[in-house]
Every structure is written in C-alpha cells, then in structure tokens.
Chain A
C-alpha cells in the first residue's frame, strides 16, 4: 500500500483531526507510559499530520502505550492521541497479516505481571 494511503487510513480509523491540535503537550504531560516511549503521544499527532508514518510504525511506543486514554480524556481540543497510536498499531498488525494472536490463545499467555489494562486492550484489539 502506498504511504499516503496508509496515512489516510490511519487518520480515518483514528477519527482524529490532527489539525485541531494546538501543541500544548497536555497529553504527554499526563501519559503514565511516557518514559517508556520513544515517540511521545503528542508527537504521534504531529507525525501523522506530517505524514511520517514509517517512523510511527517502527516506534516502540506502539507497544508501551497502555491504551489508558488519559491523553484523550485530557486533551482540551478533542484530539485523541491514543486513537492514533491504536490506529497505527492496528495497521502494523494488519500488515503482519498471519501472525495475529487469536483471542482464544490469550489466557495461556497471561502472567501476573501483565497489567489489566493491557489485557483489556488486547481483547479489544484481537477480537475484531
């Protein structure tokens, strides 16, 4: 798929209008996983606006975002960074195609250190 098309799809799936962002950084100010991220929540919004999808798809942040949606909750402009992260993550998973984890196999993978939120978000993601 062409790069621009991916950007378009991610924008569409995230339902977020990145142009509404006024670059206040409140999302990153609130993010509990901030320190584990290479690309920060507010950067996700500006990267997608600038079309830099490749960097986002390779970002480790995709897997450190807890999907707690604090950034969405706090944004004064109604922008949803977590949705962008989610949409990029979904795109990565789709491109990987076959290596999807089936929802049924998840219980066997659970260990006590996995945060509850991650489990919930996995179910949300994988049950589609």
Chain B
C-alpha cells in the first residue's frame, strides 16, 4: 500500500494569494493513498524541507507530492530532500501550481480548483512511479583522435598535456594534414611549416601520444566511456620501428614515376618514399602499385640498400583493437573536385591551378623549390588571375551551397605574397564578396589592395579559354558594368572545401549525425559546438564546418577540454529516466534504433522459454543506459509497445491524462 505525502507550498503570497492552499491540502488529503497533507509558507526553505523529511520518517512515506513552483525550479531540491530522508529521489512529483496556476489566474475559486486537479494529476503519476537509480559506468582513460591534421594534433596535445593517453589515427602516411602543405599563413604570414612541425614533433615525442599513420578505423562499438575500436594498420612494407628515415632507399629506387600526392601531383616521387622532409613519423613507405618488387618480383634494390633491414615486401594489413573513453573526430577537409566546372578549364589547361596547388608552387619545399613558375613551361607568370568562390555558395548542384570561409583570406594572402616577391607581376582577383571577419583580417585584405596594388574585380568569370598562348579570362566587372577579358599566364581557382569523404563512414560507425553537406552535426549549434549529439564523440576542426587555422586550433582545444572533463571522471552517472525494452513484447524490428539520436539501442538474439520445455530465440532490443538521454522517440516509434521510458512511462502519462480529465 502506498503512503503518499502531499506538501502544498504557499510561496509566501505568490501561490497563497490566488490559491486557497489550505483547501488544496485538505481536498488532496482525501485522495486514496494520501496519508498526510500539509501546507507551509516556503516549502523550499530549510524548515519546509525539514517538514517533508520528518513526515517521510514519521509516516513511512513511499512517495511525495509537492505542490509548488515549476519543477524546473525546485524538483532537484525536493529530490535531494527526500533522498536525505531515505526516500528514492524519483519518488517525488511536483505539481506546478505557481507558474502554471497562481501566477496566471486571478479568480481564487478557479485557481484553487485547477491546483487541486494538478495535485491529483501528480498523485496519479506518483502512484505509478518506481524508484530509479542512475546507472554508473567506468571510463576508459584513453582518447582516440581520428585525423592527424592541425585539429587532431592540437586536440591530442592538449589531452596528453592533461595526463591522458591519446592515440592519433591518420589515414595518410604522415600527420600534418592540409596545413603541412601550406606555404604561409594569414594574417601574420608566418611560415606554416615553422609553426606546425614543432607541434608534430611534440606529438611524436610525447609519451602519452601514440601515432598510427596510414591507418583507418575499421569498426567502433560501445558507448561513452567504453568504446571498442578496431584500427586497420595498412601495410607500408617498411618496418616503422626499424626505419631511420635516412632516405637512402629513395635515391636507389628505379621506379620514380609516381605522382607526388604531397605536392598535389605537381611532380613525381619514387615507389619508396617519405612524404616530405619533416614527415612524422619520418619513415619510408612503399607504394605497392608502383613498386617493381611487389608488382612483378623483380628489383629489391631498396631492401639491399637499407642498412637496418626495415623493408618487408610481404607486410600485411594488421587490425588492432583498443579501448577508449572518448573519440575526437578531426577528419578535416579536401578541396572539391572541379570536374563540374568546365568553364574555368581546370582539366584542359595545365596553367589553371587550385589554390592548394599554388601553395605548393610557392612553397620552398615544393616542386619548384619556392620559385613561382607555371606548371606548363616552368616560366614565371607575368599576369596571374584569381577566381574566388569556385564551387562555394553554389546551389545549382555543381558545387556546395555553403561559404567555404577561408578562400577570401588565402587569396588575399597569395596575391599579396606574389606582389611582394615578384613586384612586376600583375594580379587580378575576381570576387563576388570579400568576407573578412576576424581579428586583423580586413586590415590584411585592405593591405593587399592598398599597399600591394592587387586588382580586385567585383564580378565572376564566365569562361577561360586559350588564345595565342595566353589564358583568356572573360568575366564581368560589375562596378564598371563591362565585360572584361584578361589575358593571363596563370589562373588560380579558390576551390570550395568539403569534408573529408571518409567522414561519412566514420560518422556511421560512431553514430554521430551528419548534415546534408557531410559536416558533422554538433549537439547544440550554439551551446555545445564541439560535441556530437552522441555522448563521448567530440568534433574538432573542419569536419564540423569550414574554418581557418586559428578557429580550428581554438575548437580543437575546446574539444580537448571537453574530452579531459570526461576522462577525468572515474565513473559516469547515467540519466535515470532512460528507455527500456520489454523483452517479452519486443519483436526486434529495429524501428527504435532508426529514430534514436544517440545510437543507444542495439539488438541481441536471446533465448526465451515458451513453456512445455520449449525455447525460442528472438532478436530483442536492449537500451544502453549510459547512452540513452531519455527523449522517448523510440517509445512512440516502437510498433509493439515494448519500449517505455522510465519516469515518463505510458501508464504514468495516461494516469496524468485521466486525472486531469476527471471532473
């Protein structure tokens, strides 16, 4: 038999002025199950709480209804009160008779009647409450960072700094990402390598950080605090532990026709190579498609040359499994493919290049040793035309609907650097808008125009064609209202950026949500921008949306802070109001998992007794209490009525409905 205590709060005159609190207490006392009903001036005060505590002890109450202000205000208070008196905190219900009654109604009779009904409704619900306990789960004190660009590096360093172990998994043979390819960085024009490579070295030297390059995520299981991840370490045919990075093998390799990815394919590299001088790890790798030994068994020069016997032509992919408490997704971006933009002639003319290619052309470690020449004839370009928004802000279906955010600034940087280094070069920039919000950004852009005399033309290019050995760039000059044709030597396209294509697969594995542009969705656009809605998954860098280096680094650090906050806990307290599946009713149809935003539901085959000694194996849903946030989407989606939500069960809500409708 239930013993319910009802406690009606006056809230000074806030409630008592419009609600006859004594009458409410008196009427509710007559409700079946109610053994004590009191009213008091301030229930939330220490004296009020003592009243409740004493009543629990004296009457052995099984549940408490407080008729007071909004549960959003004091539900937690009264739960604690009850807990301290030995009553399960979830055996408390609040009837909101202030915000939703006394404050909005003037007529005392009407407000009192409504308060009674709200009280009855809370009693009806309480009768079906069950004591709930929040589950706990241990936290594995190790983080996984997927992606070894500047975002991943920064997150990993910060997490390691706080004393936690971090693994970086990078799909290419070296960490560094896109930033390693850049020449200079805006708006300060410091050299990208000079600021990035020390961080890369820090990663390599930090004993808390384990770098796994040329590796991919194979599968992710588990939940916040307890992820089990399989990582595929792809065969690089060189023993990472033995290779010293001396580079001798590269010299001897006879197969030298491979396109150099690091230089955006602008020059070639041997079949065995180190991506670039400061690569981390500074270890060679063999391209099996190109290696004569691996392809037809004839060669083996590099192995002969290697002093430390690091070469292993038979190496196989290896799958390792590790456990993590948190996962940081830092998969970054790539420029979009320009095959849809024939008008700019990217695939027809060698001297139409993307901005990232230009970075390599200008980089001292690039294919032309930092001497800016055009790819076709290696001559110095005298007229260079930049085209912005190539594929950005494009809703025609050819490009991307969003602004790629970084192009305005790097184009200004390129223009400025060129004018600085080659003052006799003419530089034109076709733009739609120049967007420069950011500290010292607009000043930077204005410098390009005012100090370096870059010719900015408001308008877009309609076509690029070749005439007399020149690239003719035809476009609008909207300010002068004329169509212009600029004979150029080099055309640079500011291609839109898009999330790394691997992110889709990774998002699916970690059950993180992803938007129509393949950017990962944050838990809240404003208030939780570095977390995924899936607990334990964090977002770092461009995988969440276009951003430049300073922004990426700040987000990466913010992300690290969140990870540290999680890993610092020994145990995670779970939400007590979680869904649960009645296995006797569940048909395993998978509908609930489809609507769960957290990936909290999995299915298991379970054996059930049918009676008469018979058993049956059925697929049933199980909810992971550590992951479920208690929204209840599954409870309505579930066709068989097997899913219900603790604390807001079907029966509880229907009991409230019934109570409200009684009159």
Contacts and interface: CB of A to CB of B under 8 A. Distances in A.
A20 B401 CA distance: 12
Contacts of A22: 393, 432-433
Contact of B398 (A29, A35, A40, A76): A76
Contacts of A28: 459, 462, 476, 478, 483
Interface string A67-96: 000100011111000000000000000000
A17 to B, nearest CB: 11
A26 B463 CA distance: 9
Nearest to B477: A25
Interface string B469-481: 0000011111001
A20 B394 CA distance: 11
A56 interface: no
A29 B399 contact: no
Contacts of B419: none
Contacts of B478: 23, 25, 28, 42
Given A24-B389, A42-B476, A29 B461 contact: yes
Interface in A2-33: 20, 22-31
Contacts of B462: 26-31, 70, 74
Contacts of B475: 25-26, 29
A47 interface: no
Interface in B432-465: 432-433, 458-463
B647 to A, nearest CB: 47
Contact of B343 (A23, A30, A34): A30
A78 B55 CA distance: 71
B516 interface: no
Given A34-B483, A42-B478, A76-B399, A25 B343 contact: no
B483 A31 contact: yes
A75 B432 contact: no
A40 B460 CA distance: 14
B483 A35 contact: yes
Given A26-B460, A30-B462, A76 B389 contact: yes
Given A26-B461, A27-B462, A40-B481, A77 B396 contact: yes
Nearest to B343: A74
Contacts of B615: none
A79 B149 CA distance: 38
Interface in A28-58: 28-31, 34-35, 40, 42
Contacts of B476: 24-29, 40, 42
A74 B387 CA distance: 14
Contacts of A77: 393-396
A24 B395 contact: no
Nearest to B430: A29
Number of chain A interface residues as a range: 20 to 34
The interface centre, meaning the residue of A29, A30, A35 with most chain B CB atoms within 10 A of its CB, is: A29
Contacts of B477: 25
Interface residues of B, number: 25
A20 B393 CA distance: 11
Interface string B387-421: 00100011111110000000000000000000000
Contacts of B394: 76-77
A90 to B, nearest CB: 24
A24 B460 contact: yes
B336 to A, nearest CB: 13
B318 to A, nearest CB: 46
A76 B483 contact: no
A30 B474 contact: yes
A25 B430 CA distance: 10
Contacts of A29: 430, 459-463, 474-476, 483
Contacts of A25: 432, 458-460, 475-478
Interface in B1-58: none
Interface in B345-399: 389, 393-399
Contact of A76 (B395, B474, B481): B395
Nearest to A77: B395
B463 A30 contact: yes
B31 to A, nearest CB: 60
Contacts of A30: 343, 462-463, 474
Contacts of B395: 20, 76-78
A70 B477 CA distance: 18
A86 B433 CA distance: 29
Given A22-B432, A26-B476, A75 B481 contact: no
Given A76-B394, A77-B396, A24 B432 contact: yes
Contacts of A26: 459-462, 475-476
Nearest to B432: A24
A29 B481 CA distance: 11
Interface string B591-625: 00000000000000000000000000000000000
Nearest to B396: A78
Contacts of B433: 22
Nearest to A70: B462
Contacts of A76: 389, 393-396, 398-399, 460
A28 B389 CA distance: 16
B467 to A, nearest CB: 15
Nearest to B459: A25
Contacts of B389: 24, 76
Contacts of B432: 22-25
The interface centre, meaning the residue of A28, A40, A75, A78 with most chain B CB atoms within 10 A of its CB, is: A28
A85 B433 CA distance: 26
Contacts of A31: 462, 483
Contacts of A42: 476, 478
A68 B606 CA distance: 66
Contacts of B393: 22, 76-77
The interface centre, meaning the residue of A25, A26, A30, A40 with most chain B CB atoms within 10 A of its CB, is: A25
A23 B396 CA distance: 15
A18 B503 CA distance: 35
A111 to B, nearest CB: 28
Contacts of B474: 29-30
Given A78-B395, A78-B396, A24 B459 contact: yes
A128 B331 CA distance: 55
A40 B432 CA distance: 17
Interface of A: 20, 22-31, 34-35, 40, 42, 70, 74-78
Given A26-B475, A74-B343, 14 more contacts: A20-B395, A24-B389, A24-B459, A24-B460, A25-B458, A25-B459, A25-B460, A25-B476, A27-B476, A29-B430, A29-B483, A30-B462, A74-B462, A76-B393
18 contacts: A20-B395, A22-B432, A24-B432, A25-B458, A26-B476, A27-B462, A27-B476, A28-B476, A29-B461, A30-B463, A40-B483, A42-B476, A74-B343, A74-B462, A76-B389, A76-B396, A76-B460, A78-B395
Interface of B: 343, 389, 393-399, 430, 432-433, 458-463, 474-478, 481, 483
Closest A-B pairs by Cβ, 8 of them: A30-B462, A25-B476, A29-B462, A26-B460, A29-B475, A25-B459, A76-B394, A24-B432
